[in-house]
Amino acid sequence: MRLDGKVVVITGGAQGIGRGIAHRYAEEGGRVVVADVKEERGQATTDELTAKGAQALFIHTDVTDATQIQAMIDFAVERYGRLDVLVNNAYWSKGGTAVELELEDWNKAMAAMVTASYLGAKHAVPHMERAGGGSIISISSVHGILAAARSVAYETAKGALILLVKQMAVDFGPLNVRVNAICPGLIVHEGQNTAWQQDPFQVGRRQMDYPLRRWGTPQDIANAALYLASDEASFVTGHALVVDGGMTVQLQDSHSQRVVEFLRQHRDRLA
């Protein structure tokens, strides 16, 4: 029970990685607030947690709205009396190059990913300080470390999150508030269209991206998030923990040779 009695808020906790973190935290004794724009799914997640005997609440929250972020933090403190952990997991983005992407979409992506994490800390840290410390975790991505094509907003925001956690780790360290990021590789979960998993070619092709020869699960990220939230990480702050099956440590020529070999073996699919 590594989070026994601790109060955690998880944005975007209705499905996917956020839901996985909510379950893991609840299993370890955390009292969980799930904040999401998806009411039905969010409520379903908290129902799953309470059915397991955990304490859990849902609050409708749009993280692009500053007042709703403050209301989310206030709600957790009003209902559970304290705040120990905040996970900034919700995101919104739209693909495109800098030429293609509209300013409105750029601003929305920055609001959902970067500004939401800043505002979350703004309202959470004073409560964490009162509780004697706390842990803030922002879900970045391997896209915060390396760039993919036509993804200017996502890459920028995920990269910004990594320096944001370092900066806030410096400011809030004296308050015993730790601030870390997690950089997942591909994580496959129930909230996505996973029809491609029925196709051995698609599965094999994706596995080739990873030295561990598999993509990740929400549990992989939830275990990392559990570590960073727990007292076991009490000397860890300002860190970006990469959880990607080794995808970003390999040389590009090593990876491309492996993929070329795979494609050679499946020439029929390239026609």
Ligand X SMILES: NC(=O)c1ccc[n+]([C@@H]2O[C@H](COP(=O)([O-])OP(=O)(O)OC[C@H]3O[C@@H](n4cnc5c(N)ncnc54)[C@H](O)[C@@H]3O)[C@@H](O)[C@H]2O)c1
Residues classed as catalytic: 154
Q: How far is CA 121 from CA 53, 134, 191, in A?
A: 29, 11, 27
DSSP 201-230: HHHHHHHTT-TTSS-B-HHHHHHHHHHHHS
CB of 90 to ligand X, least distance (A): 3
Looking only at the bridges linking them, the beta strands covering 177-184 and 134-139 are parallel
For ligand X, which residue of 59, 69, 83, 90 counts as binding (CB under 6 A)? 90
Of the listed pieces 21-29, 165-173, 179-187, 231-239, which binds ligand X according to CB under 6 A?
179-187
Contact 18, 87 (CB under 8 A): yes
Pairing of strands 7-11, 240-243: unpaired
Find the radius of gyration of the CA atoms of the chain.
Answer: 19
Q: From the CB of 65, what's the least distance to ligand X, in Å? A: 8
- Note whether 23 binds ligand X by CB under 6 A: no
Name the minimum Å distance from CB 12 to ligand X.
3
21 binds ligand X (CB under 6 A): no
CA-nearest of 120, 125, 58 to 88 is 120
Residues 184, 224, 225, 247: which binds ligand X (CB under 6 A)?
Answer: 184
The three-point CA angle 126-127-130 to 5° equals 90
117 binds ligand X (CB under 6 A): no
Tell me if 12 contacts ligand X by CB under 6 A: yes
**With contact defined as beta carbons under 8 Å apart, do 175 and 133 qualify?**
yes
168 binds ligand X (CB under 6 A): no
Short-list 198, 199, 215, 210, CA closest to 259: 210
175 alpha carbon, distance to own chain's centre:
24
Query: Which residues in the 219-258 window bind ligand X by CB under 6 A?
Result: none
Using CB under 6 A as the binding rule, the residues of this chain from 119 to 148 that contact ligand X are: 139, 141
Q: Nearest residue to ligand X, using CB?
A: 16
The reply on whether position 115 binds ligand X by CB under 6 A is no
**Residue 11 engages ligand X in binding (rule: CB under 6 A):** yes
Part of the chain binding ligand X (CB under 6 A), chosen from 22-30, 34-42, 119-127, 163-171 = 34-42
- Which residues lie near ligand X (CB under 6 A)? 11-12, 14-18, 36-38, 61-64, 89-92, 112, 139, 141, 184, 186-187, 189, 191
